[in-house]
Structure formats: structure tokens, C-alpha cells
A and B are shown apart, each in its own frame.
Chain A
Amino acid sequence: MPLIHLWTALPFAKLEVGHHFYWHIGNLRVHGQVFITTWFVMAILIAAAFVASRKIQQVPSGIQNLMEYALEFIRDLTKSQMGEHEYRAWVPFVGTLFLFIFVCNWSGALVPWKLIELPEGELAAPTNDINTTVALALLVSLAYFYAGLRKRGLKYFTKYIEPTPVLLPIAILEDFTKPLSLSFRLFGNILADELVVGVLVLLVPLFVPLPVMALGLFTSAIQALVFATLAATYIGEAMEGHGGEHEGAHS
């Protein structure tokens, strides 16, 4: 990206794509900047959860109210994708997906990470690193395989040849496109958003990037919602199967 590297002299508007702050654990390399922001995000979530559930009241107020609102939102989301009977066990997974991605995205947009200097690379939303999004997407894949196998046993694999074996290649392909689209959608949106904001800041440093930043906040929230909803849909789909055995359960 030579064009972008032209402007690396400007202090706050530096764009560093593909530069990472490497940590070496044994003979493994990891992206340190991703872990730093991830720990920050996890700390925020755990602190919020802790404060919200420290003394639970019948009539909620303050942060308990906020987290209850979030929880109810997640419950509705999972319920609408998986149906009344199955959703409860999956609320923690889908909910953590949503909350984690949401706080990651917004932390990238709202926290002035640039003020913290790293030897190499820059701090940003963890979701703008492909490793994070692929990790989450693969977890979703594992989750829906697990859900399908647990619910339907080996009959789960009949979904590949139902309604007709002609679709077998496409059905198998689906298992690869699902995590691929999940991870690249999230990664692309967040990275593109940060790049657009970065480029605009380079060109016009004042006020002009603000609408794009606001739009970025909106997209970030939508991406978190999309990721969680799709994860819930995949899991619900895997549990449901093609047979009509649960027709009555979902009204």
C-alpha cells in the first residue's frame, strides 16, 4: 500500500495496514495489538456484567437495567431464530458473540487508541484483524455442527442429501462459505470503516470525517447484530433439519 505510506509522517492520521506488533510465545507469533484491545474489551464486558449482577433488584435501575435490556434483546434474537424450545442453551454463545463484536467495533471507533504508542503496528478494533473474525466464524461453524449432532444425532448428516442428493456439493460447499462469509463480512466492514475514516482524516482533519464516523458507529453495530443473527440462524437451522418433525413447535 504505497499510497497510504506516503502520509505516515502525520502523527494522528497514520494508517498501518498489515503492520503488526508481534509477540513471540515459544516459537509462535501472535498479534500483540489485537490481544491488548481484546483484553480491554473483555475487561469492559466483565466489569459491566459484574456491576450489573452484583446486587440484583426486583425493579432494575442503572447498569442492571441496561444489561437486562441487552439480555432481553439477545434472548429475543435467539428465540426468533431457534424457536421457543431450543434457544435458552444458546443465549450465552450468541449473546457473547454480539456483545463482544459490538464492544470491539465501538472500541475501535470511540477509544482514541492512537494516543498509545506501540513499537510497531497500531491499536484498533480487534475485529479488524482477520484472525479474530475467522476465529469467531470457525467457532460458529463448530457450534452449529455441535448443535445439529446433539439434537439430531447422525441423522444430522442427512441434511446433505435432503431434499435431493443432487445438491450434495452445494450443501458441502455451504459449510465452507458460511464461516468465510461471516468472517470476511465482519473483517471487511470494520477494516473498511477504519480506513475510510483514516483517509478522510488525512485529507480533511476537521469536522468532515464526523458524519462518516457516525456512519461507522452505525455499521459497526449493524455488523455485530448481523453476525449474531446469522450465527443464531445457522445453529437454529442445524437443529431444525429438513424433516417436518418440529413443524408445530415454531408458530
Chain B
Amino acid sequence: MFDFDATLPLMAVQFLILTVILNALLYKPLGQALDNRDEYIRTNLQQAKERLQQATELAQQYEQELASTRRQAQALIEEARAEAQKIATAEIAEAQQAVQAELLKIQAEIDQQKQATLQALEGQVASLSEQLLAKLLA
């Protein structure tokens, strides 16, 4: 069973030869392939991460722009409404003034006519009372 002979060194030599052959056929090319794949996956992952980052940044930027645009629109609407309000108030005030003025003018006219009528009546009072008197005395 423990029969040592030239098998021992020859096996060692054979094993070393096998190591050299497998190194050339297996470990080097396949190790290279494994490393390349690792590298490939790593760079791809890196790129994907960068792209995701860019996309997130872009989305954020758009969001911000959208928000600011919405705010501007809101401000514009507010401004327009205020303007319209102002114009409306001004026109109403003007119209009221015009109506007031017309009213005053008409009042004055009525007063004048009343005055005139009263004066005319007063003028006629004398003649009418004379006529009355004449009728009574007759």
C-alpha cells in the first residue's frame, strides 16, 4: 500500500504540466472574460446611475419651471382682475357724477320755471283782484 517509487516525482511533474496547460486554456481566458464582464457591468451601472441622476435633475428643473410659470400666470390674472376692478369703479363713479350733475341741472331748471310762474302769477294778482273788486262792487 505504501509503495513509493518513481510514480511520485512523475505525478508531480504531470501535475505541474496540467497546471500550465489549464492556466493557458482555462484560468487566463476565462478569468479575462470574468474581469471584462465585471468591468462592463460596472461601467454600465455607473452610466445608468449617471443617467438616472440627470433625469432626476431634469425632472426637478421642469417642476421648478412649471411652478414659477404657474405663479406668474396667477400674478397676471390677479393684476388683470385688479385693473378691471379699478376701471369698473372709475366708470361707475363717473356715471354717478354725470347723473348727479344732470339731476342738479334739472332741479335748477324746475326751480327757475317755478320762480317764473310764480312771478307771472304775482303779476296777474293785481288785475285779477281788480276784476274781482269790480264784480263785487257792480
Contact = CB atoms under 8 A, between A and B. Distances in A.
A42 B14 contact: yes
Nearest to B5: A29
Given A34-B11, A71-B34, A17 B26 contact: no
Interface in A50-109: 50, 52-53, 56, 58, 60, 64, 67-68, 71-72, 75, 91-93, 95-96, 99-100
Chain A interface size, as a band, is: 35 or more
Interface stretch (B16-24, B71-79, B87-95, B104-112): B16-24
B49 to A, nearest CB: 21
A71 B23 CA distance: 11
Contacts of B42: none
B33 interface: yes
| Secondary structure call for the B interface | helix
Contact of A64 (B10, B15, B30): B30
B18 A35 contact: no
A139 B17 CA distance: 13
Given A38-B11, A53-B29, A71-B31, A96 B22 contact: yes
B7 A53 contact: no
Contacts of A46: 18, 21-22, 25
Contacts of A99: 22
A58 B6 contact: no
B27 A92 contact: yes
Nearest to B20: A92
B19 A92 contact: yes
Interface in B47-84: none
A135 B9 contact: yes
Contacts of A186: none
B30 A67 contact: yes
Interface in B32-51: 32-34, 36-37, 40
A223 interface: no
Contact of B15 (A28, A52, A91, A139): A139
A130 interface: yes
B7 to A, nearest CB: 4
Interface string B91-133: 0000000000000000000000000000000000000000000
A18 interface: yes
A50 B19 CA distance: 14
27 contacts: A28-B5, A31-B5, A31-B7, A34-B11, A42-B18, A52-B30, A53-B25, A53-B26, A58-B37, A67-B26, A75-B31, A91-B27, A92-B22, A92-B27, A93-B19, A96-B18, A129-B7, A130-B1, A130-B3, A131-B3, A131-B4, A131-B5, A131-B8, A132-B11, A135-B8, A135-B11, A135-B15
Interface of A: 17-18, 20, 25, 28-31, 34-35, 38, 42, 45-46, 49-50, 52-53, 56, 58, 60, 64, 67-68, 71-72, 75, 91-93, 95-96, 99-100, 126, 129-132, 134-136, 138-139, 191
Interface of B: 1-12, 14-16, 18-19, 21-23, 25-27, 29-34, 36-37, 40
